[in-house]
Structure 1
Amino acid sequence: MSAAFAKVNFWKQVQQGRFSNVILLMKIVIFISMITRAIFLLYSFPDVDITLTTIAGIFIIGLFYDFINASYFSIPLLIYTWLVPESQYTKKWNRYTLYGLFFTLIYILLFNGIAEWFFWEEFNTRFNFIAVDYLVYTTEVLGNIQESYPIGWIITGITLACAMLVYRTTDHILTDDIKPMGFGKRSLIAAAFIALPVLSFFTITTRLHHFSSNAYANELAGNGMYELFAAYRNNELSYDQFYKRIKCEDSFKEIKKLLKTTETAYISDNPFDITRTVKHTGPEKKLNVVLISVESLSAGFMNTFGSTKGITPFLDSLASHSLLFTQLYATGTRTVRGLEALSLCVPPTPGQSIVRRPHNEHLFTLGKVFEEKGYESKFIYGGYGYFDNMGYFFAHNQYDVMDRNQLKDEEIDYENIWGVADENLFTLAEKEMERTIASGKPVFAHVMTTSNHRPFTYPDGRIDIPSSTGRDGAVKYTDYAIGKFIRACSHKSWFNNTVFVIIADHCASSAGKTELPIHKYHIPLLIYSPANIQPAHMDRLMSQIDLGPTLLGLLNFSYTSKFFGYDIYSLEPGRERAFISTYQSLGYVKNNKLIVLSPQQKLDTYQVSLDGNLQRQEGNDPALTREAISWYQSASYAFSNGLMR
């Protein structure tokens, strides 16, 4: 009885003493988090599989994560409460200091809630790896926010709401009429409080809220602030540590078997070396190549793929005069992931894109192949190349980098925080191509657009949709700019010796009811060269990493390759596959099945149709599972061990 009484008395002292302020803050954190969750649920209600179990899971598991997050968030107040001497705690200055602390912390909570709302509206997820990237590039991100939202009114609203909440809280902040508490007892209580975040740091992961087959429900059960810092901790994931694997030698044995096609031959018996010669008969076609990777161009934007909006009139008209690839899938959800696939022709590795990683210099790239064929390889970007490490990556991997800095002010009709208008980007591209061709060399130019990105702004008077009214206008403006560029090129002497390749870096949105909705990775690919390539359809399943080898095959190039992609025209029917991913989940699509590899060595198999319908399958296909593991494990090993150089 005495021990039980002592515990009750101890807890009573906590509730009635100075540490009651820590409990008060934790209650506020949980309250705001639950309100945020309820708002997100109402916004996404049509996409959530509403059942009693789902709702219970969202709010019960969500409450658990809110409580964990509250224990982290209250640490600054906990330390202050612990360290202030007894002689000073009841002073007037301390009360106002506590008011200031509460104001600051509640302001952060409200600001976080608003930021989460905008992030949810854009990506339909809690904060994740993308949000971590955004914290790194504050200039572009803050500029984007300023150009997209009424930031002044938002800040004013947050400040007023925070002031009102703190005012209602002041009567509950205790500094007077509390029992004295020595440093030893304060230390014991502080240790009890700090034990929760310390314990959870080593035992709790973000996977615990993945309780449902519905991706929206899983995201709602999480806590955005907790997810943000979890993503920061896991921005690079070791494949060997977190994913299902086989013996490394076996993965390369499998991958060498998978990569072998009729036109290739391995040059080494080294079990970890995939270097092979690619041989084509007949003369090589030293044509200029313009590879346009279009920001966020989902296939579904084009009438060619079923849209009725008419926002890509030029691309739709060009499709009938091009080699059109109808079943191509992006590897990821970020520009840097698309650039990785297009330049390195490698499956996505977990965590950060190779474009953003250290030790990514002197890799085997598409630019290197063209350089070895006597081309000048260029990466041309309308923003500043430091963003997402693009400039560094391409400059150290056989490309000359041209960005916003190469344009004079009089050459710019319009720019926003992401870069110049796409038509000005293409003016730069045309100028750089002319310079190289005049020197007697062919050119390979990889041009990366920016206009199809929030805040969706562009020069007035170009199209019939006003600037800054939404994505449809941005898509139509980019379509206009591409049309203007190709029409201008058609009057050049070098037009008949040029191949134009138009592909997306990724889709506009990858959110869906499932974690990897394959239809949200479907992107267009058009290869246009009326004097050299006959219009046709290629309807076989393809990955974004297959573009490089397929393009080189169309040019009839023989070369030495370290690519993981296929030349689709040299690949026997039945061997097609695609890779789709988030920063954690790795998907492998083949034979109407989707294998998903996730951290904690998790593996799921689905029956899949390309319209996005998934059906979880009990049991795994051993051969297909081995293939999926081999592709991803070998690619991760190859980069980590310098085998892509």
Structure 2
Amino acid sequence: MKVANLIFKRYSLLFGFSAWYLLFSLLLRVFFLFWQIDDVDLSILILFKILFTGFIFDLGVLSFLFLISSFYLLIIPTKLIGSKLDKFFLIFGSVVTLFIFVFTFFAEITFWEEFRCRFNFVAVDYLIYTFEVVKNIHESYPLYLLIPGILLLTSIIYYVMLKLDFLKNTLESKPSFRYRLLMFVVASFFALFYISFVKNSDAEWSKNRYNNEISKSGIYSFFAEFRNNKLDFKTFYASISDQEAFTILRNDLKAKNESFLSNDFTIKRKVVDSQETQVKPNVVFVLMESMSASFMKTYGSTENITPFLDSISKEAFTFKNLYATGNRTVRGMEAITLSIPPTPGQSIVKRPNNSNLYTISNVFKSKNYKCNFFYGGDGYFDNMNAFYGGNGFDIYDRGRGSILDDAIKTKRHNIDDNEVTFENAWGICDEDIYNKMIQVADEYHNKKKPFFNFVMTTSNHRPYTYPANKIDIPSGTGREGAVKYADYALQQLIQKSKNKPWFNNTIFIFVADHCASSAGKDEIDVANYHIPAIIYGKNLIQKQEINKLCSQIDVFPTLFGLLHWNYTSNFFGTNVLNQEYKERALVGTYLKLGYKKQDKVMILTNKKTAHYYSWEPTSNILNILPMNQKEQKEAISWYQVADYLYVNNKLK
């Protein structure tokens, strides 16, 4: 008993800190429960399971804290226990750790507000791109209140721990090296146990996504995602033989005017149009940040925040039933540029070995086009410069250093300060990036060279700030204003372009990268993947509404079909106007991979399982169905083949 008391006193600061962490983590979990009270499935049993699961993961966080702390308490010589040096390290370490944990709790609340989930791979990305993220936080939240609040709470908690004599007891107790070694061994055992056997996905016990997310621990989730940013498909997902997967997919892709170039494991094929033309219109493609279909009257909105897009959709080739492949910008870029389903883990845009791939730029370059990529922020963010520069595009961005030029294989152009009228954390306003694009379009028109200009917008993003006096909603007041400004900027783009000699020979394409929010209580919130897609070209593209179910990956194959081009395709997307086109959409999260056909949705999970649902659009509810083996194999084939082609360098 005396020995146990001696050990406990030496570790009392650590035990006190742990008790505080468990209490605050419980309060945060309860806070999230009340936040999503209308969405969670709740009963006494479910509440117990949420809190118990959360407690287990909180212990996992503490196991690593115990490992680090017990290592220090082990290696300090007995004669130095209680010394000024020991006191300094204990106070410094405990205060810094406490501040980090308090900061993390606040950060989890802001992250939940944005993404409706615990820390995930997005948070890992944000750690890498600190400049943009810190600036965004500064512009989005009142840091003059937030930082003092964190410091005050840290001080109060530490003061309470001092009053309870946790530090005093830790300094006064001197257990022998043998007992300290025992504590370190025990801490090591629990840390290794969590590393080896407790996966973050173990918290996903419910069909209700919110129940799962609230069960998790933010810190544990963060480090779990840090380890697992790339997932081997066959290790984590239900799979079939590669031969069967390619057979099923090639059957889905086959069309009368397309012929596969090989019988090997490939989808490369020749597309031949009987009405082939040599027409080469310029193409301006705008990937619109967070532009949900639900914002537009064209898709059923009762608001009037996209008047221009709604008006131009009546004159254009409009996809009414098109879905984004993912919930991040890099997923939209991947889907559009590579015409590929989302592979589990990180987007190919951010993976290694992603240069010299077969992209839409290869089709344009085969027609002698100049391909350019425009981004109003620093293209280092999300690896955009490296990806587009390594795949045939010239880059126009607001890069902060010429050292980035070494990472790309093509010419990079910086957008100068004198070309900027407004800028926030994510980059220059949409009007400014369109003005830059128009300037470059003028240059290539004067050179008599057709151009394909790919523009990524930024204004419709938190902190939702934009130039003053442009629209009737004040800057920085919310999403609705950002959407309306983004729409206004598109109107200015068309109005300015109409005065250019190249306008009548230019096609404009407007497609969202993803919806403003994709989170819901179901595994995949299908409605929050529905995005607008519009192809507009005066005298070039006939007005038409397409109600077929389709995907982002189909946009450019459909454009090439409208232009009656012959080309080589290594794309998963197809021309929706083909008689053989089979309606489907591919929608995914970081871990869940969805395959939608009509009102049925197959979802593949990273636990080698699959769930089959019927989807009710009006209520946006997924109802479980008995498994359909044929549909499951078809869903698997799309994702397994995409992963196979990337891993085996067959997207080159």
Length-normalised TM-score, structure 1: 0.96
> Which of 475, 490, 514 is 2:483 aligned to?
475
Describe the SS at the equivalent of 2:509: strand
Number of the residue aligned with 1:237: 231
Q: Does 1:444 align with 2:444?
A: no
Q: Does 1:273 align with 2:281?
A: no
Number of the residue aligned with 1:103: 95
CA pair 278-58 structure 1, distance change in 2 beyond 3 A: same
Q: Does 1:591 align with 2:593?
A: no
Aligned partners of 1:145 and 1:180: how far apart in 2? 45
Q: Does 1:157 align with 2:165?
A: no
Q: State the AA in 2 paired with 1:21.
A: L
> Which of 38, 60, 83 is 1:68 aligned to?
60
- Superposition pairs of residues 328-339 of structure 1, within 5 angstroms: 328-339=322-333
- Superposition pairs of residues 34-113 of structure 1, within 5 angstroms: 34-113=26-105
Could you list the per-position Cα deviations for residues 456-487 of structure 1 after superposition, in whole angstroms to 9, with x for gaps in the alignment?
A: 11111111111111111111111011000111
- Superposition pairs of residues 137-216 of structure 1, within 5 angstroms: 137-170=129-162, 171-175=165-169, 180-216=174-210
Could you list the per-position Cα deviations for residues 377-409 of structure 1 after superposition, in whole angstroms to 9, with x for gaps in the alignment?
A: 111111111111101111111111111253332
Q: Does the aligned pair in 1 maintain the 2:587–2:595 contact within 8 Å?
A: yes
Q: State the AA in 2 paired with 1:513.
A: K
CA pair 486-85 structure 1, distance change in 2 beyond 3 A: same
Number of the residue aligned with 2:405: none
Q: Does the aligned pair in 1 maintain the 2:612–2:625 contact within 8 Å?
A: yes
Q: Does 1:224 align with 2:224?
A: no
Q: Does 1:582 align with 2:589?
A: yes
> Which of 564, 567, 573 is 2:572 aligned to?
564
Aligned partners of 1:413 and 1:177: how far apart in 2? 59
Number of the residue aligned with 2:646: 639
Q: Does 1:349 align with 2:356?
A: no
Q: Does 1:23 align with 2:10?
A: no
Q: State the AA in 2 paired with 1:41.
A: L
User: How far 1:617 sits from its partner (Å)?
Assistant: 3.0
Number of the residue aligned with 1:623: 630
- Superposition pairs of residues 126-141 of structure 1, within 5 angstroms: 126-141=118-133
Q: Does the aligned pair in 1 maintain the 2:11–2:170 contact within 8 Å?
A: no
Aligned length: 635
Q: State the AA in 1 paired with 2:595.
A: Y
Q: Does the aligned pair in 1 maintain the 2:87–2:171 contact within 8 Å?
A: no
Q: State the AA in 2 paired with 1:278.
A: V
Aligned partners of 2:583 and 2:300: how far apart in 1? 24
Aligned partners of 1:150 and 1:285: how far apart in 2? 54
> Which of 417, 429, 441 is 1:409 aligned to?
417
Number of the residue aligned with 1:316: 310
Aligned partners of 2:159 and 2:20: how far apart in 1? 13
Name the stretch that deviates more: 171-180 or 295-304. 171-180
Q: Does 1:362 align with 2:369?
A: no
- Superposition pairs of residues 463-612 of structure 1, within 5 angstroms: 463-572=471-580, 575-611=582-618
Aligned partners of 1:502 and 1:81: how far apart in 2? 60
Q: State the AA in 1 paired with 2:587.
A: I
User: How far 1:96 sits from its partner (Å)?
Assistant: 4.6
Q: Does the aligned pair in 2 maintain the 1:517–1:612 contact within 8 Å?
A: no
Aligned partners of 1:205 and 1:290: how far apart in 2? 45
Aligned partners of 1:367 and 1:50: how far apart in 2? 50
Could you list the per-position Cα deviations for residues 434-472 of structure 1 after superposition, in whole angstroms to 9, with x for gaps in the alignment?
A: 111211111111111000111111111111111111111
CA pair 458-351 structure 1, distance change in 2 beyond 3 A: same
Aligned partners of 2:355 and 2:85: how far apart in 1? 56
User: How far 1:611 sits from its partner (Å)?
Assistant: 4.3
CA pair 158-189 structure 1, distance change in 2 beyond 3 A: same
Q: State the AA in 2 paired with 1:442.
A: P
User: How far 1:32 sits from its partner (Å)?
Assistant: 1.7
Number of the residue aligned with 2:401: none
User: How far 1:431 sits from its partner (Å)?
Assistant: 0.8
Describe the SS at the equivalent of 1:594: strand
Could you list the per-position Cα deviations for residues 330-375 of structure 1 after superposition, in whole angstroms to 9, with x for gaps in the alignment?
A: 0001101100000000000000000000000100101110010111
Q: State the AA in 1 paired with 2:307.
A: P
Q: Does 1:428 align with 2:428?
A: no
Q: Does 1:379 align with 2:373?
A: yes
> Which of 361, 376, 394 is 1:400 aligned to?
394
Structure 2 unmatched runs, 5+: 399-412
Aligned partners of 1:355 and 1:547: how far apart in 2? 18
Q: State the AA in 2 paired with 1:338.
A: G
Q: Does the aligned pair in 1 maintain the 2:341–2:642 contact within 8 Å?
A: yes
Q: Does 1:33 align with 2:41?
A: no
Could you list the per-position Cα deviations for residues 116-152 of structure 1 after superposition, in whole angstroms to 9, with x for gaps in the alignment?
A: 1100000000000111111110111111111111123
Q: Does the aligned pair in 2 maintain the 1:99–1:166 contact within 8 Å?
A: no
Aligned partners of 2:171 and 2:62: how far apart in 1? 26
Q: Does the aligned pair in 2 maintain the 1:414–1:420 contact within 8 Å?
A: yes
CA pair 261-610 structure 1, distance change in 2 beyond 3 A: farther
Q: Does the aligned pair in 2 maintain the 1:280–1:557 contact within 8 Å?
A: yes
User: How far 1:501 sits from its partner (Å)?
Assistant: 0.5
Describe the SS at the equivalent of 1:293: strand
Aligned partners of 1:628 and 1:12: how far apart in 2? 59
Q: State the AA in 2 paired with 1:279.
A: V
Q: Does 1:264 align with 2:258?
A: yes
User: How far 1:259 sits from its partner (Å)?
Assistant: 1.1
Aligned partners of 1:601 and 1:459: how far apart in 2? 49
Could you list the per-position Cα deviations for residues 462-518 of structure 1 after superposition, in whole angstroms to 9, with x for gaps in the alignment?
A: 111111111111111110110001111112222121111100000110111112011
User: How far 1:176 sits from its partner (Å)?
Assistant: 6.4
Q: Among the aligned pairs, what percent are the same residue?
A: 40
Aligned partners of 2:420 and 2:439: how far apart in 1? 14
User: How far 1:194 sits from its partner (Å)?
Assistant: 2.0
Name the stretch that deviates more: 81-90 or 340-349. 81-90
Aligned partners of 2:194 and 2:22: how far apart in 1? 17
User: How far 1:93 sits from its partner (Å)?
Assistant: 4.6
Q: State the AA in 1 paired with 2:640.
A: Q
User: How far 1:174 sits from its partner (Å)?
Assistant: 4.2
Q: Does the aligned pair in 1 maintain the 2:570–2:651 contact within 8 Å?
A: yes
Structure 1 unmatched runs, 5+: 1-7
Q: Does the aligned pair in 2 maintain the 1:330–1:505 contact within 8 Å?
A: yes
Number of the residue aligned with 2:298: 304
Number of the residue aligned with 1:456: 464
Describe the SS at the equivalent of 1:588: strand
> Which of 383, 388, 391 is 1:389 aligned to?
383
Name the stretch that deviates more: 46-55 or 440-449. 46-55
Aligned partners of 1:142 and 1:479: how far apart in 2? 27
CA pair 132-179 structure 1, distance change in 2 beyond 3 A: closer
Q: Does the aligned pair in 2 maintain the 1:243–1:600 contact within 8 Å?
A: yes
